[in-house]
Amino acid sequence: MSESAEPRVVEFAIGGMTCAACSTRLEKVLNRQPGMQANVNLAAERARIRLSGAADEAAVIAAVGKAGFRAELVDAGTREREKAEKQRAYKQEIVRFWIAVALSLPLAGQMLFMFGEHGHSNELPRWLQLVLATPVQFWIGWRFYDGAYKALRGGGANMDVLVALGTSMAWGFSTVVTLFGLPQHVYFEGGAVVITLVLLGKLLEVRAKARTSEAIEALIRLQPKTARVERDGQWLEMPVDALMPGDVFLVRPGESVPVDGEVIDGESSLDEAMLTGESMPVSKRAGDRVFAATANGQGALRCRAVGVGEHTLLAGIIRMVGEAQGSKAPVQRLADKISGIFVPAVCAVAFVTFFGWWFYAGDFAEALVNAVAVLVIACPCALGLATPTAIMVGTGQGARAGILVKNAEALERAERIGVLALDKTGTLTQGRPVVTDIVVRGIERDQALAWAGALEHNSEHPLARAVIEAAAAVHLPKTVNFKATPGCGVEGEIDARPLRLGAPAWIGCAEDAQVAALQQTGKTVIVLAEGETVLALFGIADALRPTSRQAVERLRSQGIRVVMLTGDNAQTAAAIAAEAGVDEFRAGILPGDKAAAIAELKRDGVLVAMVGDGINDAPALAAADVSFAIGAGSDAAIEAADLTLIRNDLLGVVDAIDLSRATLRKIRQNLFSAFIYNTLGIPLAALGWLSPMVAGAAMAMSSVSVVSNSLLLKRWRPNAKR
């Protein structure tokens, strides 16, 4: 099988879309192509397409072109090229708009004098009106004819069809009246002013839409262009793109970290606010991780590159934010369905309005004006922009606060969370347990530490790391016949002695009085034994995160039921739950059983979310309706999660839910205003209560108001900063 048969997701920049009908039609066209599954975003002007079978990028570009649009494969330079092209086009549109204003103003101005004492005697000569209106209609307004032709050629209809049809009717009728000297009023001002107002609306819309992507643009600007790299004992200034994993680089005071790395030597504090949303600097020393674009403080750091290019945390954030901004929330499906049939339905309403008024009033001109007003006011732009603009701003604000949203659907579901399941270790707690108590029986303390450390030497479990850190000062003997039992413990032979280290229940001493005493203080106990003989007890505590109790209180105040899941015994779990303010917990849950616990919680019919940080949390995260991964957790957990919290703080979950509610609130406001606008506007125009000029102004401002309302999400701040 060829490489092209492997399913893959590609992203294209789309040009030529003007309204929701365009994006809906293009999505349908692409989804009809074999091997293509497309999602088209009007606000982002992007199409994310899953290709399979023989489908390739060339086939996508051809299909998009046939539908009347332009497609360009997104690469590293696409964003800069797009930005330059949009700025050039914007400047051209500004010039064209002011020319349209200059030509339309005399036509609109005469309307004011027509209400005066001399009425129609103040009207401009009709030949002059024709001269002024024609360039606006066919030069300034050519974009609408071009867009309408491409849409109709592709088998659909869009906003351009409505504007071109409506203004052409007004201009054509007025031209016939002027050329043949008929005793009728002319409506040159109607078509010219409508085109001018629509252009104004488009300019304001483009300007406002540009602000919706400011967050991702700000992230891109953060990464330095050059780095000081060590080569043969000398420091050379090199482009960041030239760095490879393993290269040693220097970060001087006040500079930004060029790529992800690990500190080799030096001490300093880094401002990681752009990643975590936290303003407090984070101290760094040998062995600590540093991330691209974070700002160094007063000290110098010598680091080894770990992640470069597309493999830095910053690149991952930019990629995830871009994917989320290009995704489609379920709430938009209704808007898409309506947009797909909207333009043909409006044309039908305009047709009925025209003939209805002609037969009712017997006035062809009045019937024409009312039909034009229906066509002009019915543009579905606001409907198409309602959801994606809010998603773009919301996910951008989330990224600034250290909340990465995988897709819009997850953001929508987060609003309806009824139950939140929490992993204990690394989520409620610091995730760095330490040995606090060692109780030995018949052996020396150092001997107990040496044997326990040797048994745990190859384990990555947090409790194992605590034992290894406690045994750092003693010599570790060799272990043979090592075996690990998930959720229970480890065993092996040391100096020909069969030793086990694990949970008291596994060892067989769960009823031991000293074990119970340690557990009652909220400590996890692991037991070192030879056969059935207990040699030592290790009491291990994992301190609660400072903000965990506050986060739990906030979640409960929002009506969310909080459940803690832990592999600890019931006594230890109860102590931690009480300290965190959690009323409900499931204790003694093995890693493989967490997904089953999520399934059990879902049986109540409520939306269940899961927060975790480890590899063993990945199945439970995948099973939950909404999943959150703590950023310091494993790649598997982050991959399985819907939302990733860069900072290690449970308050991030509260902020993510709050962001979801704020974003969905804006989406509903936008959809309501868009639906109400068209629901009220079309009947008013059909009844003859709106002139084409008023309809054009209202249509232009409806799109601007939707985008502006979405931009109000920029006021959103994390709870911790309010």
For 555-589, the pLDDT digits (tens) are: 999 999 999 988 777 877 888 888 899 989 988 88
pLDDT at 397 over 60: yes
- The pTM of this model reads 0.64
Confidence (pLDDT) at 460? 66
pLDDT confidence band for 634 (50 / 70 / 90) = very low
pLDDT confidence band for 654 (50 / 70 / 90) = very high
pLDDT confidence band for 157 (50 / 70 / 90) = low
pLDDT at 189 over 90: no
- Is 515 exposed, middle or buried (CB count within 10 Å of its CB: 0-12, 13-18, 19+)? buried
Count Cα neighbours of 501 within 13 Å in the Cβ-side half-sphere: 28
Lowest mean pLDDT: which of 122-131, 275-284, 531-540? 275-284
Compute the distance between CA of residue 185 and CA of residue 512 in angstroms, rounded to an integer: 102
Confidence (pLDDT) at 118? 44
According to the per-residue pLDDT averaged within each range, which of 4-8, 65-69, 389-393 is highest? 65-69
Lowest mean pLDDT: which of 19-28, 372-381, 509-518? 372-381
pLDDT at 139 over 70: yes
pLDDT at 276 over 70: no
> Are the C-beta atoms of 576 and 596 separated by less than 8 Å?
no
Q: Which of the residues are catalytic?
A: 423
Confidence (pLDDT) at 535? 94
According to the per-residue pLDDT averaged within each range, which of 83-92, 125-134, 315-324, 572-581 is highest? 125-134
Confidence (pLDDT) at 74? 80
Confidence (pLDDT) at 329? 63
Confidence (pLDDT) at 394? 86
What tokens appear for 571 in the block? Answer: 């006594």
Query: In which order are the strands placed within the sheet that holds 248-251?
Result: 234-239, 226-231, 248-251, 301-307, 260-265, 289-290
pLDDT tens, residue by residue, 75-100: 766 667 777 777 887 888 899 999 99
Three-state secondary-structure class, residue 533: strand
Question: What is the rounded average pLDDT of the residues 141-169?
Answer: 78
Range list of H helices, 33-77:
57-66
Dump the DSSP string for 243-277: --TT-EEEE-TTPBP-SEEEEEE--EEEE-HHHHS
Lowest mean pLDDT: which of 188-197, 255-264, 375-384? 375-384
> Are the C-beta atoms of 538 and 452 separated by less than 8 Å?
yes
Average pLDDT, the chain: 81
Write down how long the chain is: 722
How many percent of the chain have pLDDT more than 70? 84
pLDDT at 1 over 50: no
